[in-house]
């Protein structure tokens, strides 16, 4: 079971989909992320890419986000996200889509641009290197590009895995380690500050 750590549904337990690849962030890491996002979460549009359990999107809504688009390719995970959203009366604010994550940047043409992007691809996409790693990192860059000015993009990877050549694509990106994982977050500057 997963537990929402704060907001309207603080302490509420949610079901986890029975999917081997689902790897929800531990509570301490989630609290760290949301503490960092506290100034922009209220009213935010959130894109949760590789949503897995959907906990980041559901916690975003509990903390005041206005809407979440959760993207996950596993149909069992999508069904569980929808069930959890219905359980806590967020079905009108949470859209769970079964689509390939690589289609996500194109949704900026029809969806509200995100203020916050959560990006949690399979660890193997980073660890295996080569073309797969280049492709998944480019997807994160593309998502950061469609995000609103002042927004924040957060990526979850194995601990310390990103290279300087990858990090330099997003000047100012920050890293926090939680056990065997790292979270990196990047704030998109406004045109006035560039």
The domain locations on the chain are 2-187
Mean pLDDT to the nearest integer, 25-38:
87
**CATH 3.40.640.10 is the classification of domain 2-187:** no
- pLDDT higher than 90, residue 114: yes
For residue 15, is pLDDT > 70? yes
Average pLDDT value for residue range 35-53 = 95
Those residues whose C-beta lies under 8 Å from the C-beta of residue 146, and which sit 6 or more positions away, are 105, 108, 113, 114
Length of the chain: 194
- Give pTM, 2 decimals: 0.91
For residues 133 and 171, is the Cβ–Cβ distance under 8 A? no
The answer to whether 47 and 108 have CB atoms below 8 angstroms apart is no
Residue 146 to residue 107: CA distance in whole angstroms: 9
The string of pLDDT tens digits covering residues 82-101 is 999 999 999 999 999 999 99
Measured between alpha carbons, how far is residue 149 from residues 26, 41, 53, 74, 166 in Å? 29, 14, 28, 31, 21
The rounded percent of the chain whose pLDDT value lies above 70 is 93
Inform me whether the pLDDT recorded for 26 exceeds 90: no
* Model confidence band, residue 53 (pLDDT cutoffs 50, 70, 90): confident
17-21, 44-48, 74-78, range with greatest mean pLDDT: 44-48
């Amino acid at each position: 079971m997963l537990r929402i750590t704060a907001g309207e549904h603080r302490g509420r337990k949610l079901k986890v989909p029975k999917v081997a690849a689902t790897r929800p962030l531990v509570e301490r890491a989630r609290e760290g992320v949301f503490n960092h996002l506290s100034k922009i979460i209220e009213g935010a549009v959130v894109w949760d890419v590789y949503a897995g359990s959907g906990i980041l999107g559901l916690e975003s809504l509990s903390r005041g986000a206005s809407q979440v688009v959760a993207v996950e390719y596993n149909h069992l995970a999508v069904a569980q996200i929808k069930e959890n959203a219905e359980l806590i009366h967020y079905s009108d604010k949470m859209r769970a889509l079964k689509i390939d994550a690589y289609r996500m940047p194109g949704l900026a043409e029809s969806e509200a641009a995100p203020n916050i992007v959560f990006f949690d691809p399979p660890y193997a996409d980073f660890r295996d290197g080569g073309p797969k790693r280049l492709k998944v990192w480019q997807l994160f860059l593309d998502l950061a590009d469609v995000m609103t000015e002042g927004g924040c993009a957060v990526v979850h990877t194995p601990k310390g895995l990103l290279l300087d050549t990858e990090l330099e694509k997003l000047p100012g990106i920050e890293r926090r380690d939680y056990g065997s994982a790292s979270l990196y977050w990047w704030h998109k500057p406004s045109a006035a500050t560039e």
